[in-house]
Amino acid sequence: MKRALGLARQDKVSVFSRSQYEWTLVEQSCNRMASVLVPLYDTLGPNTVPYILNHTEMTVVFCAKQQTATLLHCLRECPHLKTIVQYESNLEEQQVAEANERGVKL
């Protein structure tokens, strides 16, 4: 994960999903890589996600399929975000195209 995403020690990595086993995998990977885990919760309101992404200058977010649309909606407001890793492999072509238009890898 570290090499594939170009992460260095103490880089911030965000996870945006409900509690599920992938959350734990990301968390333990961050611990192993000495990365800082920044959780995101959609229950905190619509302005919270872009605020946290900008405040932390987040470049990488791991998310569940349900949160991909929310992240894509935030891209104009979040210039630091460069990579969205969706847990599920069934990516929607429209979402991939939208991410590519904004210079974000999905």
In a domain, 106, yes or no: no
25 vs 74: CA distance, rounded Å? 25
Per-residue pLDDT for the chain (106 aa), expressed as one digit of tens each?
777 888 889 999 999 998 899 999 999 999 999 999 999 987 887 799 999 999 999 999 999 999 999 999 999 999 999 999 999 999 999 999 999 999 999 9
82, part of any domain: yes
Q: 105: which DSSP letter? A: B
CATH number of the domain to which 95 belongs: 3.40.50.980
DSSP helix/strand/coil, 11: coil
User: What is the reported pTM?
Assistant: 0.92
Name the residue range of residue 73's domain: 2-101
* DSSP secondary structure letters along 62-94: EE-HHHHHHHHHHTTT-TT--EEEESSS---HH
Number of domains, the chain: 1
